[in-house]
Amino acid sequence: MIPVREFAGQYVAVFGLGRTGLATVRALQAGGAKVHAWDDNEAARQRATEQGFDLVDINKRDWQQYSALILSPGIPFRYPEPHRVVKLARMVGVEIIGDMELFARAVNALPEHARPKIVGVTGTNGKSTTTSLIGHILRKAGKDARVGGNIGVGVLDMAPLHASAIYVLELSSYQLDLIESLKCDVSVLLNITPDHLERHGGMQGYVEAKSRIFDNQTDSDVAIIGMDTMPTQIMLARMAAKKRQLCVGVSSEYALGRGISVVEGVLFDSQNGRATEVGDLSEIKTLPGQHNYQNAAAAYAACRALGVDATVIMDAMASFPGLAHRQEVVGKVGKVNFVNDSKATNGQAAVQALRSYPRVFWIGGGVPKSEGLADVRPYFGHIEKAYLIGEAQAQFSRELGDAVPHLKCGTLRRAVAEALQDARDCDDEDPIVLLSPACASFDQFKDFEDRGDAFKHLVSGLMSESEKLQATIS
């Protein structure tokens, strides 16, 4: 745990008692704050009580007593409408921040020589893979890398601050909205495509939230920016012109004259203006597809900025185990391969999987995003047949129309069964059933992990014992 002493002896309100909120309460109490914690959700309050937390309904308290409101990232801050506790805090001028800002203040309270390095990673897609890959490389290089934030361990639940440590943090747009003083030695912005727009008041607000990862950087810091989406291209051009920090472009679509590029699977470093071949990413089975090439390029750039040798980076990438629910090969039933890409909660994320396979039996659907299948449309030709589930099935059926054969299945169980039958009957030697929903999961599942686990459970139930053994070995 990282104790936060910023508010020692003061009253602080914490709203939201999920993983982040509970970690925040512990860190504040360890630093001597008087914490009033609450959640509108009765089940969340019950879990907190069972873990020994004392709760206070902050909706009914005098807000003049609070020095700060610490808001969990899932709570509406500005859009579509601020939560009631946000309005209460604003009425009396109580500052509103998040757990990442508490972390930043704990770091900034240390003497400069005692502060750890911080790597921040954000983007619409690829955050978790890139964050995990950077952590993996740094550990293989003998560094004390600590990975957390929006992935795995909440930032305040991480090991105490130490000067030799490198904190590699995944940052969501919600978390970035609630920071003021976080300064990353290395900031990574992978891409920006429409997502969570209702929480940011539109695309401009979303872009502004993502750009906050570069706030507070100076000329000794590094900004790594993906060049494969238009908003990030514009951002890099503006930042490079200001020359406030060193800017490094990365791309898996373009050969950059200066930056990090991947061309036909081969990684090139041209930061000094001359392209040098670093290694072949296509040989790394846990990083399939062009989108993962960009993730790898960004991780390479980040680790080079931290002084890791290029050869060490490539050797470490070769041993990267990959992440669950991200183009995860989960098993084979007869000749049919099943791939779990449940993390694809929007169209652009699903595109990254579809473009990796020329012909798939695709399972999609759930809670649709505003853009629907607009991003997926250019890859309709990769879909042999679609199996639609959840709230989106009627909308997706209309969007697919006559262009793609499809079946409205309703449930994931039926979709898996129907896809297996059709894939068995096709002429392909190794057909692929791909779950890459292009939707959120909340209509039928707790989250994308729950959806992916359900998919894996269904596939496992269809596999023979020998197939299960082979899946474990591979």
* 35-39, 369-373, 408-412: the lowest-pLDDT one: 369-373
- % of the chain exceeding 90 in pLDDT: 87
DSSP 22-57: HHHHHHHHHTT-EEEEE-S-HHHHHHHHHTT--B--
**Structural domains for the chain:** 11-97 (3.40.50.720), 108-318 (3.40.1190.10), 328-473 (3.90.190.20)
Report the pLDDT value the prediction gives residue 197, as an integer from 0 to 100. 82
Residue 158 has pLDDT above 90, yes or no: yes
pLDDT at 410 over 90: yes
pLDDT at 470: 64
- Say yes or no to pLDDT of 384 above 90: yes
- Predicted confidence at residue 474, as pLDDT, reads 55
Q: What is the pLDDT of residue 214?
A: 98
Residue 198 has pLDDT above 90, yes or no: no
Q: CA angle at residue 351 from 346 to 354, to 5 degrees?
A: 130
What percent of the chain stands above pLDDT 70? Answer: 98
Per-residue pLDDT of 317-352, as tens digits, reads 999 999 899 999 899 999 999 999 999 999 999 998
User: How much is the mean pLDDT over the chain?
Assistant: 95
Residue 281, both tokens: 């990413």
Q: Give the pLDDT score at 152.
A: 84
Q: Quick one: average pLDDT of 307-315? A: 98
How far, in Å, CA of 434 to CA of 446, rounded?
20
pLDDT at 74: 82
What confidence score (pLDDT) does residue 196 get?
79
Summarised one tens digit per residue, pLDDT across range 244-286 is 999 999 999 999 999 999 999 999 999 988 999 999 999 998 9
C-alpha–C-alpha distance, residues 174 and 210, integer Å: 9
Kind and range of the H or E element at 122?
A: strand 117-122
Q: What share of the chain is helix, strand, coil (3-state, %, to 5)?
A: 40, 20, 40
Confidence of residue 472 (pLDDT cuts 50, 70, 90): low
213/97 Cα distance (integer angstroms) = 15
CB atoms within 10 A of CB 398: 10
Q: Mean pLDDT, to the nearest integer, of 92-110?
A: 97
Q: Determine the pLDDT at residue 297.
A: 98
pLDDT at 280: 97
Tell me the C-alpha distance between 313 and 140, whole Å: 8
State yes or no: cis peptide before 82, omega within 30 of 0. no
Give dist(CA 221, CA 185) in Å, integer: 5
Confidence of residue 195 (pLDDT cuts 50, 70, 90): confident
Check whether 88 has a pLDDT greater than 60: yes
Q: Choose the weakest-confidence range: 20-29, 177-186, 322-331, 414-423.
A: 322-331
User: pLDDT-based confidence at 433, cuts 50/70/90?
Assistant: very high
